[in-house]
Amino acid sequence: MVRLTVDLIAKSRHHFKKKRGLSLPDYLKTLTHLHFFSKNIEDIGDLSMCRNLTVLYLYDNQLTHIHNLGFASNLTHLYMQNNNITHIDNLSNLQNLSKLYLGGNRIAVVEGLEKLCELKELHLENQRLAPGEKLLLDPRTLLSLAESLCVLNISNNNIDEIRDLTVLKELQHFSAFDNKLHNMQELEDVFSHWPQLLQMDLIGNPVCKKPKYRDRLITACKTLLVLDGREINELTRQFLINWKASKEAKKKKNRHLTTGPISPHPYINDFYMGQAPLPGHTYSHADVQKWNPQQSLWAQKLKIPLCGRLGHVDA
Protein backbone atom coordinates (compact mmCIF):
# COMPACT_ATOMS: atom_id res chain seq x y z
CA MET A 1 0.00 0.00 0.00
CA VAL A 2 1.31 3.44 -0.98
CA ARG A 3 0.99 5.94 1.86
CA LEU A 4 1.70 9.65 1.71
CA THR A 5 4.20 10.42 4.50
CA VAL A 6 7.09 12.80 5.12
CA ASP A 7 9.43 9.97 4.13
CA LEU A 8 7.74 9.76 0.73
CA ILE A 9 8.14 13.53 0.40
CA ALA A 10 11.83 13.23 1.28
CA LYS A 11 12.32 10.62 -1.46
CA SER A 12 10.61 12.77 -4.06
CA ARG A 13 13.04 14.60 -6.32
CA HIS A 14 10.31 17.05 -7.23
CA HIS A 15 9.91 18.22 -3.65
CA PHE A 16 12.94 17.71 -1.49
CA LYS A 17 15.77 19.81 -2.84
CA LYS A 18 17.80 19.92 0.31
CA LYS A 19 19.72 23.10 0.80
CA ARG A 20 23.04 23.14 2.60
CA GLY A 21 22.47 23.19 6.32
CA LEU A 22 18.65 22.83 6.02
CA SER A 23 17.24 19.76 7.78
CA LEU A 24 14.21 17.81 6.57
CA PRO A 25 11.94 19.15 9.37
CA ASP A 26 12.92 22.73 8.54
CA TYR A 27 12.42 22.10 4.86
CA LEU A 28 8.92 20.64 5.43
CA LYS A 29 7.95 23.83 7.26
CA THR A 30 8.68 25.84 4.11
CA LEU A 31 6.49 23.73 1.84
CA THR A 32 3.34 25.40 0.52
CA HIS A 33 2.52 23.02 -2.38
CA LEU A 34 2.54 19.22 -2.53
CA HIS A 35 2.23 17.42 -5.90
CA PHE A 36 1.34 13.75 -5.41
CA PHE A 37 -1.18 13.03 -8.16
CA SER A 38 -1.23 9.71 -10.05
CA LYS A 39 0.98 7.93 -7.50
CA ASN A 40 -1.42 5.11 -6.51
CA ILE A 41 -1.67 6.60 -3.02
CA GLU A 42 -4.22 4.80 -0.84
CA ASP A 43 -3.78 6.58 2.48
CA ILE A 44 -2.58 9.86 4.00
CA GLY A 45 -0.12 9.63 6.88
CA ASP A 46 1.11 12.21 9.37
CA LEU A 47 1.97 15.39 7.47
CA SER A 48 1.68 17.74 10.43
CA MET A 49 5.22 19.01 9.89
CA CYS A 50 3.98 20.67 6.68
CA ARG A 51 2.26 23.33 8.71
CA ASN A 52 2.33 25.99 5.96
CA LEU A 53 0.76 23.84 3.28
CA THR A 54 -1.69 25.81 1.12
CA VAL A 55 -2.21 23.62 -2.00
CA LEU A 56 -2.43 19.81 -2.06
CA TYR A 57 -2.67 17.80 -5.30
CA LEU A 58 -3.91 14.24 -4.68
CA TYR A 59 -6.08 13.57 -7.74
CA ASP A 60 -5.98 10.31 -9.73
CA ASN A 61 -5.02 8.11 -6.77
CA GLN A 62 -6.72 5.29 -4.81
CA LEU A 63 -7.81 7.16 -1.68
CA THR A 64 -10.97 5.93 0.05
CA HIS A 65 -11.09 8.38 2.98
CA ILE A 66 -10.20 11.98 3.78
CA HIS A 67 -8.21 12.15 7.00
CA ASN A 68 -5.02 13.42 8.68
CA LEU A 69 -5.49 16.91 7.21
CA GLY A 70 -6.60 18.62 10.41
CA PHE A 71 -3.17 20.27 10.76
CA ALA A 72 -3.51 22.16 7.44
CA SER A 73 -5.34 25.25 8.69
CA ASN A 74 -3.67 27.29 5.91
CA LEU A 75 -4.85 25.01 3.10
CA THR A 76 -6.77 26.91 0.40
CA HIS A 77 -6.88 24.40 -2.51
CA LEU A 78 -7.53 20.66 -2.21
CA TYR A 79 -7.55 18.46 -5.35
CA MET A 80 -8.87 14.95 -4.65
CA GLN A 81 -10.85 14.14 -7.80
CA ASN A 82 -10.82 10.65 -9.34
CA ASN A 83 -10.23 8.64 -6.19
CA ASN A 84 -12.52 6.16 -4.37
CA ILE A 85 -13.79 8.49 -1.63
CA THR A 86 -17.28 7.63 -0.35
CA HIS A 87 -17.80 10.28 2.38
CA ILE A 88 -16.85 13.91 2.90
CA ASP A 89 -15.51 14.20 6.41
CA ASN A 90 -12.60 15.44 8.56
CA LEU A 91 -12.47 18.82 6.83
CA SER A 92 -13.83 21.01 9.62
CA ASN A 93 -10.37 22.40 10.52
CA LEU A 94 -9.71 23.64 6.98
CA GLN A 95 -11.42 26.96 7.57
CA ASN A 96 -9.38 28.77 4.89
CA LEU A 97 -10.25 26.28 2.18
CA SER A 98 -11.60 28.11 -0.89
CA LYS A 99 -11.51 25.43 -3.63
CA LEU A 100 -12.48 21.77 -3.16
CA TYR A 101 -12.30 19.27 -6.03
CA LEU A 102 -14.04 15.94 -5.38
CA GLY A 103 -15.33 14.95 -8.82
CA GLY A 104 -15.10 11.35 -10.02
CA ASN A 105 -15.38 9.71 -6.59
CA ARG A 106 -18.15 7.58 -5.00
CA ILE A 107 -19.86 10.24 -2.88
CA ALA A 108 -23.64 9.83 -2.53
CA VAL A 109 -24.35 12.60 0.02
CA VAL A 110 -22.69 16.01 0.15
CA GLU A 111 -22.29 16.89 3.81
CA GLY A 112 -19.70 17.80 6.43
CA LEU A 113 -18.85 21.21 4.99
CA GLU A 114 -20.62 23.34 7.57
CA LYS A 115 -17.38 24.85 8.96
CA LEU A 116 -15.92 25.86 5.58
CA CYS A 117 -17.12 29.46 5.58
CA GLU A 118 -14.53 30.54 2.97
CA LEU A 119 -15.37 27.88 0.39
CA LYS A 120 -15.94 29.50 -3.01
CA GLU A 121 -15.69 26.54 -5.40
CA LEU A 122 -17.15 23.05 -4.98
CA HIS A 123 -16.65 20.47 -7.75
CA LEU A 124 -18.67 17.24 -7.43
CA GLU A 125 -19.18 16.10 -11.03
CA ASN A 126 -19.26 12.49 -12.29
CA GLN A 127 -19.72 10.58 -9.03
CA ARG A 128 -19.64 6.82 -9.59
CA LEU A 129 -22.95 5.99 -7.96
CA ALA A 130 -24.88 2.74 -7.67
CA PRO A 131 -27.55 2.16 -10.38
CA GLY A 132 -30.64 4.29 -9.70
CA GLU A 133 -28.83 6.41 -7.08
CA LYS A 134 -28.52 10.20 -7.32
CA LEU A 135 -26.28 12.73 -5.62
CA LEU A 136 -27.94 14.34 -2.58
CA LEU A 137 -26.93 17.65 -0.99
CA ASP A 138 -27.55 18.16 2.72
CA PRO A 139 -29.65 21.34 3.24
CA ARG A 140 -27.55 22.23 6.30
CA THR A 141 -24.40 22.17 4.22
CA LEU A 142 -26.02 24.30 1.52
CA LEU A 143 -27.20 26.84 4.06
CA SER A 144 -23.70 27.11 5.53
CA LEU A 145 -22.27 27.83 2.05
CA ALA A 146 -24.95 30.37 1.11
CA GLU A 147 -22.77 33.42 1.77
CA SER A 148 -19.55 32.15 0.14
CA LEU A 149 -20.06 29.63 -2.67
CA CYS A 150 -19.57 31.12 -6.15
CA VAL A 151 -18.91 28.02 -8.29
CA LEU A 152 -20.82 24.72 -8.12
CA ASN A 153 -20.39 21.75 -10.46
CA ILE A 154 -22.84 18.84 -9.96
CA SER A 155 -22.85 17.52 -13.52
CA ASN A 156 -23.67 13.91 -14.44
CA ASN A 157 -25.05 12.79 -11.07
CA ASN A 158 -28.66 11.70 -11.90
CA ILE A 159 -30.04 14.84 -10.22
CA ASP A 160 -33.71 15.51 -11.03
CA GLU A 161 -34.48 18.54 -8.84
CA ILE A 162 -32.50 21.46 -7.40
CA ARG A 163 -34.98 23.38 -5.26
CA ASP A 164 -32.72 23.09 -2.19
CA LEU A 165 -30.03 25.08 -4.03
CA THR A 166 -32.15 28.25 -3.87
CA VAL A 167 -30.18 29.46 -0.81
CA LEU A 168 -26.92 29.79 -2.79
CA LYS A 169 -27.50 33.45 -3.56
CA GLU A 170 -23.82 34.22 -4.32
CA LEU A 171 -23.54 31.62 -7.09
CA GLN A 172 -21.89 32.89 -10.28
CA HIS A 173 -21.05 29.69 -12.21
CA PHE A 174 -23.38 26.69 -12.20
CA SER A 175 -22.76 23.42 -14.06
CA ALA A 176 -25.37 20.66 -14.01
CA PHE A 177 -25.16 19.12 -17.46
CA ASP A 178 -26.12 15.48 -18.15
CA ASN A 179 -28.56 15.20 -15.25
CA LYS A 180 -32.35 14.58 -15.21
CA LEU A 181 -33.69 18.07 -14.61
CA HIS A 182 -37.13 18.36 -16.23
CA ASN A 183 -39.24 20.95 -14.37
CA MET A 184 -39.00 24.29 -16.17
CA GLN A 185 -40.96 26.23 -13.54
CA GLU A 186 -38.68 24.94 -10.77
CA LEU A 187 -35.58 26.11 -12.64
CA GLU A 188 -37.05 29.55 -13.21
CA ASP A 189 -37.92 29.86 -9.51
CA VAL A 190 -34.46 28.77 -8.34
CA PHE A 191 -32.48 30.87 -10.81
CA SER A 192 -34.50 33.99 -9.99
CA HIS A 193 -32.94 33.78 -6.49
CA TRP A 194 -29.36 33.89 -7.88
CA PRO A 195 -28.75 37.59 -8.62
CA GLN A 196 -25.02 37.06 -9.30
CA LEU A 197 -25.30 34.22 -11.84
CA LEU A 198 -23.08 34.76 -14.90
CA GLN A 199 -22.58 31.35 -16.49
CA MET A 200 -24.68 28.17 -16.55
CA ASP A 201 -24.54 24.81 -18.34
CA LEU A 202 -27.57 22.50 -18.43
CA ILE A 203 -26.90 20.62 -21.68
CA GLY A 204 -28.13 17.01 -21.65
CA ASN A 205 -31.10 17.54 -19.31
CA PRO A 206 -34.68 16.77 -20.46
CA VAL A 207 -35.68 20.35 -19.69
CA CYS A 208 -33.53 21.57 -22.58
CA LYS A 209 -36.16 20.18 -24.99
CA LYS A 210 -38.96 22.25 -23.49
CA PRO A 211 -40.51 25.01 -25.68
CA LYS A 212 -38.86 28.41 -25.20
CA TYR A 213 -36.29 26.82 -22.84
CA ARG A 214 -33.52 29.29 -23.61
CA ASP A 215 -35.81 32.34 -23.77
CA ARG A 216 -37.42 31.57 -20.42
CA LEU A 217 -34.09 31.12 -18.61
CA ILE A 218 -32.66 34.30 -20.09
CA THR A 219 -35.61 36.29 -18.70
CA ALA A 220 -35.38 34.51 -15.33
CA CYS A 221 -31.61 35.16 -14.96
CA LYS A 222 -31.13 38.82 -15.78
CA THR A 223 -27.34 38.78 -15.15
CA LEU A 224 -26.58 35.62 -17.13
CA LEU A 225 -23.87 36.07 -19.78
CA VAL A 226 -23.37 32.51 -21.05
CA LEU A 227 -25.96 29.71 -21.26
CA ASP A 228 -24.94 26.23 -22.43
CA GLY A 229 -21.75 27.56 -23.97
CA ARG A 230 -23.48 30.32 -25.97
CA GLU A 231 -23.14 33.99 -25.12
CA ILE A 232 -26.31 35.99 -24.52
CA ASN A 233 -26.78 39.09 -26.63
CA GLU A 234 -27.91 42.04 -24.52
CA LEU A 235 -30.37 43.24 -27.16
CA THR A 236 -31.92 39.77 -27.26
CA ARG A 237 -32.22 39.75 -23.47
CA GLN A 238 -33.93 43.14 -23.39
CA PHE A 239 -36.35 42.14 -26.14
CA LEU A 240 -37.32 38.95 -24.26
CA ILE A 241 -37.78 40.84 -20.98
CA ASN A 242 -40.01 43.44 -22.66
CA TRP A 243 -41.96 40.72 -24.49
CA LYS A 244 -42.59 38.85 -21.24
CA ALA A 245 -43.72 42.03 -19.46
CA SER A 246 -46.10 42.86 -22.31
CA LYS A 247 -47.53 39.34 -22.31
CA GLU A 248 -48.14 39.41 -18.56
CA ALA A 249 -49.81 42.83 -18.80
CA LYS A 250 -52.11 41.54 -21.54
CA LYS A 251 -53.08 38.52 -19.45
CA LYS A 252 -53.83 40.75 -16.49
CA LYS A 253 -56.04 42.97 -18.66
CA ASN A 254 -57.94 39.97 -20.05
CA ARG A 255 -58.56 38.62 -16.55
CA HIS A 256 -59.99 41.99 -15.53
CA LEU A 257 -62.36 42.06 -18.53
CA THR A 258 -63.71 38.57 -17.83
CA THR A 259 -64.58 39.26 -14.20
CA GLY A 260 -67.47 41.74 -14.85
CA PRO A 261 -70.90 41.62 -13.10
CA ILE A 262 -73.32 38.77 -13.82
CA SER A 263 -76.38 39.67 -15.93
CA PRO A 264 -79.43 40.60 -13.79
CA HIS A 265 -81.73 38.55 -16.04
CA PRO A 266 -81.78 34.93 -14.83
CA TYR A 267 -83.39 33.50 -17.96
CA ILE A 268 -80.84 35.14 -20.26
CA ASN A 269 -78.04 33.69 -18.13
CA ASP A 270 -79.64 30.25 -18.44
CA PHE A 271 -79.76 30.40 -22.24
CA TYR A 272 -76.30 31.95 -22.69
CA MET A 273 -74.47 29.74 -20.23
CA GLY A 274 -76.36 26.51 -20.97
CA GLN A 275 -77.39 26.18 -17.34
CA ALA A 276 -80.76 25.24 -15.81
CA PRO A 277 -82.46 27.55 -13.29
CA LEU A 278 -81.05 27.18 -9.80
CA PRO A 279 -82.85 24.62 -7.63
CA GLY A 280 -85.50 26.12 -5.36
CA HIS A 281 -85.78 29.39 -7.36
CA THR A 282 -89.40 30.56 -7.95
CA TYR A 283 -89.91 32.97 -10.85
CA SER A 284 -92.62 35.65 -10.84
CA HIS A 285 -94.50 37.44 -13.63
CA ALA A 286 -91.98 40.25 -13.23
CA ASP A 287 -89.10 37.85 -14.03
CA VAL A 288 -90.93 36.58 -17.11
CA GLN A 289 -91.66 40.07 -18.35
CA LYS A 290 -88.05 41.10 -17.92
CA TRP A 291 -86.92 38.34 -20.28
CA ASN A 292 -86.82 39.51 -23.91
CA PRO A 293 -86.81 36.66 -26.46
CA GLN A 294 -85.28 39.01 -29.01
CA GLN A 295 -82.05 39.10 -26.93
CA SER A 296 -81.40 35.37 -27.32
CA LEU A 297 -80.51 34.29 -30.85
CA TRP A 298 -80.02 30.75 -29.60
CA ALA A 299 -83.65 30.65 -28.33
CA GLN A 300 -84.95 32.08 -31.61
CA LYS A 301 -83.17 29.48 -33.74
CA LEU A 302 -84.63 26.66 -31.68
CA LYS A 303 -88.07 28.33 -31.86
CA ILE A 304 -88.76 27.79 -28.20
CA PRO A 305 -92.16 29.29 -27.23
CA LEU A 306 -92.05 31.46 -24.18
CA CYS A 307 -95.01 29.81 -22.49
CA GLY A 308 -93.95 26.30 -23.50
CA ARG A 309 -90.37 26.81 -22.24
CA LEU A 310 -91.16 28.53 -19.00
CA GLY A 311 -94.68 27.43 -18.14
CA HIS A 312 -97.38 29.61 -16.69
CA VAL A 313 -96.68 31.18 -13.34
CA ASP A 314 -99.70 32.03 -11.23
CA ALA A 315 -99.71 35.24 -9.34
**Least confident piece of the model among 124-133, 188-197, 272-281:** 272-281
User: Cα-flanking dihedrals φ and ψ of residue 79, to 5°?
Assistant: -110, 105
Which region among 20-24, 29-33, 199-203 has the lowest average model confidence (pLDDT)? Answer: 20-24
Instruction: Provide the pLDDT for residue 307.
Output: 44
Say if residue 288's pLDDT is above 50: no
pLDDT, the chain, mean: 84
Query: pLDDT of 162-216, one tens digit each?
Result: 999 999 999 999 999 999 999 999 999 999 999 999 999 999 999 999 999 999 9
The continuous run of DSSP H or E covering 219 comes out as: helix 213-220
pTM: 0.76
Q: How confident is the model at residue 1 (pLDDT cuts 50, 70, 90)?
A: confident
Are the C-beta atoms of residues 75 and 55 closer than 8 Å to each other? yes
Does residue 93 or residue 276 have the better pLDDT? 93
Q: Provide the pLDDT for residue 101.
A: 98
Q: Give mean pLDDT, residues 35-64.
A: 96
Which pLDDT does position 299 carry in this prediction? 46
Range in 55-69, 121-135, 240-254 with the lowest mean pLDDT:
240-254
Q: What is the pLDDT of residue 245?
A: 65
DSSP 240-262: HHHHHHHHHHHHHHHHHHTT-PP
Q: At residue 313, does pLDDT exceed 90?
A: no
Q: Does 291 have pLDDT greater than 60?
A: no
What pLDDT is recorded for position 249?
67
Query: Does 23 have pLDDT greater than 50?
Result: yes
pLDDT in tens, 71-119: 999 999 999 999 999 999 999 999 999 999 999 999 999 999 999 999 9
Q: Which residues contact 79 (CB under 8 A, 6 or more apart)?
A: 37, 55, 56, 57, 58, 59, 101
Model confidence band, residue 302 (pLDDT cutoffs 50, 70, 90) = very low
Q: Which fold has domain 159-247?
A: 3.80.10
Of 198 and 249, the one with more pLDDT: 198
Amino acid type, 233: N
Query: Could you give the count of Cα atoms lying within 13 Å of 85 in the half-sphere of its Cβ?
Result: 31
Query: What's the pLDDT band for 312 if we cut at 50, 70, 90?
Result: very low
Yes or no: say if 112 and 141 are a contact pair by the CB < 8 Å rule. Answer: yes
Domain segments of the chain as ranges: 159-247
Q: Residue 251: is its pLDDT beyond 90? A: no
Evaluate if residue 273 carries a pLDDT over 60: no
265 phi, psi to nearest 5 deg: -100, 105
pLDDT, residue 222, reads: 86
- The CB density around residue 13, as the number of other CB atoms within 10 Å, is 6
**61, 95, 101, 96: which is closest to 78 by C-alpha?**
101
